[in-house]
């Protein structure tokens, strides 16, 4: 017969912590406990022999007594009652259980409905629900489904779902599937204890491999009962016993392999007694016993409680993953965890995409907390040690490395490159002098290592060197491929009164103000702002002097082209008066295209000022009497749409307007269609 003992068998970190605190307290005198400190009759009897008293109600506890709060925790009202009795409280509440309490109370404070998936009569759940009357308890995913459908509205309400720390992984997974399918506003926290998860997985594996299973634990212990249930799912011969006296060795006859596991409340000496009884029984029948390995059971127990020190490199298995940390099974009584910030530098990375439950993982010990039974680990710091050689090689070879900006300090920023801190001076950051270093925080950057001092653990790098190199390479590529009309995506770098400078990828080109818009603008800032991403095209370039002229306005939106396609001489258009002058009125035919209505063409009578008939903003119909395509000028006439008047008695000559009005003025054309150079005539009357 081969006997295989689960490495995770026995006390979890929380129970171990509770028992140690109780032992130290009892060394100083008698103590009281509200309910059994541990779900194990033999262990509890041993504590009572040392002076522990079990009380069912607070009234049984004498005033001023020393009181142990068990690992399951108690409601706030119980703590208040103990304070009223002047009790000296020794709180052994498991940190993971306390986390469940905190989540439930936080949810209630936020107006959310706390939902606890677990056994309603279990001390842990009673403590949670007593502290928060709004909490809803569902035994498993089936009860959760029933509750969600009770009134047809529960699935729409804001829910915060937590789990009993000894819950099974199967129920948690089923609940998550149900919530994602049915609920529109929920938060779910996987509060199952890591030690419980590891113990259940190992029990399932052993049960599938062995002919029989021995589960050691008290029937009042929820995690022990679940271990037995899991083993029965994989093995038909399971004994669920509290101690060695209850072991039926006869029932194990004929079994080639026997697996042994134990709940979180089973002391190591009870596990050892069960193992010893199996050995004695087999020896009595002269049947040799083989262990899973060459190590003795005592050696396995010794390994499970081995001491871990800060700075040690340890290897474990990923037990669970949450948004904030990775739980690691180290094969010891300590619960290992790696904060996400100690796994990698990227704050946006999804850890579950990088590592999976069950993966082996190596890390360095950052801090050991014997009181809470936890070990903080760091993969990032271990990687940093390994990557020092790579950093030195990058400096020697001039290799470009990539990292994440994690800090801003005096004079520059710190970039984490595979866990190694690299200082980048402000002058080498690649940012303008007036820019704040905080602009780089959290960004992934490429840099060149310029200095390495391993003795002082100092590394200096330059982002600017990489940017300059890349910019130079891009500039050469552009000059080799540039041609008139080619389009580029660029960024507006600066502006002047006469135009905007655009970086098209290593080279700055200029967009003249006249090329920014088809309509009249006063300054470039009317159209663009520094930092804008724009699409520009090449109007001209000078490779020798390294100058590029760019266009921004869309040729397809040329208003003159649209006018020429839509109108011709003789067409009637509805125009809008935009400006009045002494010699006539300017009218908008299309946005961006204006024509001149000479004063003589405004009315079929003589007028002194255009304002006698027209006002800015008026919309009137006018006939197009002349078009000069080269100068893009148009002559309009309102008078031509009315009855013609007799010819004027004498010809009047009007001076040509100057300045802006002259540019927009449309001259009359001769009978052959050529510009005469004369302004349109007015009546002499």
Which positions are annotated as active-site residues? 124
Buried b (16+ CB within 10 A) or exposed e, 308-322: beeeeebebbbbbbe
The token pair at 279 is 């050995």
Return d(Cα 202, Cα 197) in angstroms, integer. Answer: 9
The token pair at 646 is 């007799």
Which contacts qualify for 425-433: CB closer than 8 Å, 24 or more apart? 425/460, 425/462, 427/464, 428/461, 428/462, 428/463, 428/464, 428/465, 429/463, 429/464, 430/463, 430/464, 430/466, 430/467
Residue 622, C-beta contacts closer than 8 angstroms, at least 6 positions apart = 572, 573, 575, 587, 595, 597, 636, 637, 638, 640, 641
Residue in the structure block whose two tokens are 């946006």: 348
The token pair at 214 is 């021995």
Determine the 3-state secondary structure of 555 from DSSP. helix
Residue 237, Cβ neighbours under 10 Å: how many? 17
Determine the 3-state secondary structure of 220 from DSSP. coil
Residue 298, Cβ neighbours under 10 Å: how many? 11
The token pair at 268 is 């190591």
Determine the 3-state secondary structure of 80 from DSSP. helix
For residue 632, which phi and psi values (nearest 5 degrees)?
55, 55
Determine the 3-state secondary structure of 539 from DSSP. strand
Return d(Cα 662, Cα 160) in angstroms, integer. Answer: 75
User: Quick one: CA dihedral 93, 95, 101, 102, positive or negative?
Assistant: positive
The CA-based dihedral angle spanning residues 140, 142, 148, 151, taken in that order and rounded to the nearest 10 degrees:
-130
Cα dist from 636 to 246, 268, 609, whole Å: 113, 106, 17
The token pair at 569 is 């001489």
How far the first Cα of the chain sits from its last, in Å, is: 132
Buried b (16+ CB within 10 A) or exposed e, 15-25: bbbbbebbeeb
Q: Read out DSSP for 43-87?
A: HHHHHHHTTEEEESSGGGSPTT-EEEEPTT---HHHHHHHHHTT-
Instruction: Determine contact, residues 477/508, Cβ cutoff 8 Å.
Output: no
Return d(Cα 375, Cα 334) in angstroms, integer. Answer: 6
Return d(Cα 192, Cα 172) in angstroms, integer. Answer: 8
Sequence-ordered alpha helix ranges (H) in 508-665: 559-566, 660-664
Determine the 3-state secondary structure of 498 from DSSP. coil
């Amino acid at each position: 017969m081969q006997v295989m003992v689960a490495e995770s068998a026995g006390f979890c970190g929380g129970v171990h912590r509770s028992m140690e605190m109780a032992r130290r307290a009892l060394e100083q005198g008698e103590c009281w406990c509200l309910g059994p400190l541990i779900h194990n009759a033999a262990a509890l009897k041993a504590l009572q022999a040392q002076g522990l008293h079990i009380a069912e109600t607070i009234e049984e506890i004498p005033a001023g007594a020393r009181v142990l709060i068990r690992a399951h925790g108690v409601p706030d009202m119980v703590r208040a009652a103990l304070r009223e009795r002047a009790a000296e409280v020794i709180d052994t509440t498991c940190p993971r259980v306390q986390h469940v309490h905190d989540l439930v109370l936080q949810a209630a404070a936020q107006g959310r409905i706390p939902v606890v998936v677990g056994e309603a009569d279990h001390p842990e759940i009673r403590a949670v629900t007593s502290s928060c009357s709004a909490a809803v308890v569902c035994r498993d995913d089936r009860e959760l489904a029933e509750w969600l459908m009770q009134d047809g509205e529960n699935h729409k309400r804001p829910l915060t779902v937590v789990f009993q720390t000894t819950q099974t992984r199967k129920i948690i997974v089923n609940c998550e599937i149900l919530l994602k399918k049915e609920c529109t506003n929920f938060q779910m926290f996987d509060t199952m204890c890591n030690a419980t998860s590891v113990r259940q997985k190992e029990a399932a594996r052993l049960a599938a491999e062995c002919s029989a299973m021995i589960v050691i634990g008290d029937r009042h212990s929820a995690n022990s009962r679940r271990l037995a249930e899991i083993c029965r799912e994989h093995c038909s011969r399971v004994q669920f016993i509290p101690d060695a006296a209850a072991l039926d060795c006869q029932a194990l006859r004929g079994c080639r392999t026997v697996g042994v596991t134990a709940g979180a409340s089973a002391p190591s000496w009870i596990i050892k007694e069960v193992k010893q009884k199996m050995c004695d029984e087999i020896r009595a029948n002269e049947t040799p016993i083989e262990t899973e390995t060459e190590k003795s059971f005592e050696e396995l127990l010794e390994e499970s409680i081995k001491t871990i020190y800060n700075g040690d490199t340890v290897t474990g298995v990923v037990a669970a993953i949450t948004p904030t940390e990775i739980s690691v099974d180290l094969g010891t009584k300590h619960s290992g965890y790696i904060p996400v910030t100690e796994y990698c530098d990227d704050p946006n990375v999804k850890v579950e995409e990088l590592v999976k439950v069950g993966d082996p993982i190596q890390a360095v010990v950052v801090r050991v907390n014997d009181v809470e039974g936890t070990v903080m680990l760091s993969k990032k710091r271990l990687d940093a040690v390994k990557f020092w050689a790579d950093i030195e090689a990058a400096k020697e070879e001039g290799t470009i490395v990539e990292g994440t900006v994690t800090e801003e300090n005096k004079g520059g920023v710190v970039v984490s490159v595979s866990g190694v801190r690299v200082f980048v001076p402000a002058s080498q950051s690649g940012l303008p002098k007036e820019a704040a270093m905080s602009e780089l925080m959290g960004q992934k950057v490429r840099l060149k290592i310029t200095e390495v001092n391993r003795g002082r653990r100092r590394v200096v790098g330059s982002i600017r060197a990489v940017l300059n190199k890349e910019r130079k390479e891009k500039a050469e590529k552009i000059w080799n491929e540039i041609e008139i009309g080619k389009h580029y995506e660029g960024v507006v770098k600066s502006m002047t009164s006469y135009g905007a400078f655009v970086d098209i990828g290593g080279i700055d080109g200029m967009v003249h103000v006249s090329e920014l818009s088809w309509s009249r603008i006063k300054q470039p800032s009317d159209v663009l702002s520094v930092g804008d991403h724009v699409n520009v095209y090449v109007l001209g370039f000078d490779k020798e002097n390294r100058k590029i002229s760019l266009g921004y306005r869309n040729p397809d939106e040329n208003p003159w082209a649209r006018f020429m396609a839509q109108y011709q001489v003789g067409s009637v258009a509805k125009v809008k008066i935009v400006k009045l002058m002494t010699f006539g009125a300017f009218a908008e035919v299309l946005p961006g295209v204006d024509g001149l209505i000479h004063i003589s063409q405004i009315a079929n009578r003589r007028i002194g000022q255009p304002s006698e008939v027209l006002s800015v903003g008026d919309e009137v119909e006018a006939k197009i009497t002349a078009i000069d395509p080269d100068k893009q000028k148009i002559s309009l006439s309102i008078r031509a749409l009315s009855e013609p008047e007799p010819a004027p008695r004498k010809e009047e000559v009007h001076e040509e307007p100057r300045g802006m009005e002259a540019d927009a003025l449309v001259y009359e054309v001769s009978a052959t269609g050529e510009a005469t150079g004369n302004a349109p005539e007015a009546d002499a009357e």
